[in-house]
Amino acid sequence: MSFPKMILKDIRNVLFDKDIIVILLLGPIFLTLLFGGVYLNSYIEDIPIAALDEDGSSMSRMIIQQFNEDDRFKLKYNVKTRKELEAIIDSEKAHMGIYIPPNFSQNIIELKSPEVVILVNGSNMVVGNNAYAQAANIIQTISAGTQIKLIESRGIVPAIAENIGMPFRFNDRVLYDPKMTYMNYLIVGFIAVFLQQVMLSGIGIGLIKNGEDIARGDIFKKIMAKIIATSFWGLSSTFISIYIASRLFDIQIRGNMEIALIMAITFIFAISCPAIILAAIVKDKLKFTQVAFMLSLPTFATCGYVWTIDQMPEAMVKVIKAFWPLIYFSRPFDEIIIKGLKFNDIKQNIIQMLIYTIAWMPIGIYFFKKRYNKPEKAEA
C-alpha cells in the first residue's frame, strides 16, 4: 500500500474511532472550558482580612478604611488582641491581618517612624502574593501622603512639600497583558499541555491497538501515517480551544496562527517519539493512558512555562531537553499567540524539536519493532 493510501486509511479509521474522538477532540475543548471557568475572574478579589487597631486615632482608622474600600480586600474582622488576630489568620478565616500599634499617630507627629504590621498567610502563594503586593502599595501611598502633610505643617508651601515628600515619581507600562491576569498567563500554556497529552494518548493507543500489524512491513511509513492521521484531531481541538479562549475568555491574540500551526506540527512529531517508546514498553491501552496522564504534571512543571528556564539548574535543563520536548514548545507557543512573536524568534525552538525528533524517532521505531515482533512465550 502506498504512503498516501496509508494516511487516508488511517484518517478514515481515526475519524470514526470513538476513543480517539473523545481523547483528541472533546478532551481539550472540555478542559479549556473547565480551566477557563476556574480563572474567569481576572484577579483575586475580596480577600478576607482582620484588623487590630490599638491606636484608635483618626489616622489609624483611615488606614483600615483604605483597606476596606480596596476591591482586593474585604474587612471581615475587627479584633481586640494580638492573640485573636493570629488565631483568625491561623484558622484561615482571614488571609491577612493589619496591626496598628499604640501611639501610632503620635509617633508619626514626633517623626519616630512607627510601623504598620501586615500579617500575611503565606501558605497559599497566589492569595499571599496578591495580598502582600496590594497591601504594600496602599501603605506606601498613605505613607507618602502623610509625609507631605508633615512637611506642609512646618510652613513649606504644598508644591515644594510634594516635591520633597516625593523626590521622584514612578510610572509603569505593562506590555501584552496590562491587567496581569491569571487567565492570560496560564490558559495558552494549559492548551499546549492538552496538545501534548492528547497526542501522547492518541498516538500511543493507536499504536497499541494495531501493534503487531504496524511492526510488520514498512514500519516507518505506517507510524508516520498514524501520526499524521491522529494529528488531524489534535490540531483541530488545539485551535478550537484557542478560539474559545479568545472569544469566550477574552484572550488577546496578536500572533500569526500560521506560525503557531508550524510550531504545533513540529511539536506533534517530537512528542510522538516518547509516545512510540511508551507504547512499546507498556503494550496496554489502559496502562498507557495512566502513564501518559501521570506525566502531565511533572512535564508541565519542568517545561519552563510557570517557572522560567533561566531560574532552573542548568544540569536539569539539559536533561529535560534531551528527554522531553515540551520545554521547546509551551512558552514559545504562548508567546507566538499572546506577544505576536515572528518566525525568526522561534526558529531555534523549531530546529531543536526537529533535532530531537531525528534523534529519538529511529530509537522509538526500533524499540517498537523489537517489542511487537517478539514472540509471546507459550503458557505453561
> Once rounded to an integer, what is the mean pLDDT over residues 365-377?
78
Residue 72 has pLDDT above 90, yes or no: no
> Which pLDDT value is given to residue 183?
78
User: Which of 158-184 are b and which e, b meaning 16 or more Cβ less than 10 Å from the residue's Cβ?
Assistant: eeebbeebeeeeeeeeeeeeeeebbbb
Residue with the bigger pLDDT between 132 and 74: it is: 74
Task: Say what the pTM is.
Answer: 0.79
Q: Where are the domains of the chain?
A: 3-39+181-373, 47-165
Write out pLDDT tens, residues 172-192: 566 676 666 777 788 899 999
Torsion sign across C-alpha atoms 195, 193, 133, 160:
negative
* Average pLDDT over the chain, rounded to an integer: 85
The whole-number average pLDDT for the span 19-28 is 76
Amino acid 157: pLDDT: 63
If one counts every other C-beta atom within 10 angstroms of the C-beta of residue 34, the result is 10
Q: DSSP labels for 239-262?
A: HHHHHHHHHTT-----S-HHHHHH
C-alpha cell at 273: 517519539
Question: What does the block give as the cell for 168?
Answer: 521622584
Assess whether pLDDT exceeds 60 at residue 5.
yes
Predicted pLDDT of residue 378: 44
Say if residue 380's pLDDT is above 60.
no
Strand partners, 77: 50
Distance CA 234, CA 352 (A): 21
* Residue 377 DSSP code: P
CATH number of 47-165: 3.40.190
| pLDDT tens readout for residues 188-226 | 999 999 999 989 988 998 889 888 888 887 888 889 988
pLDDT band at 299 (very low <50, low <70, confident <90, very high): very high
Question: How many residues are recorded in the chain?
Answer: 380
For residues 351 and 226, which has the higher predicted lDDT (pLDDT)?
351
Cα dihedral: 348, 349, 352, 356 (round 10): -170
- pLDDT given at position 27: 82
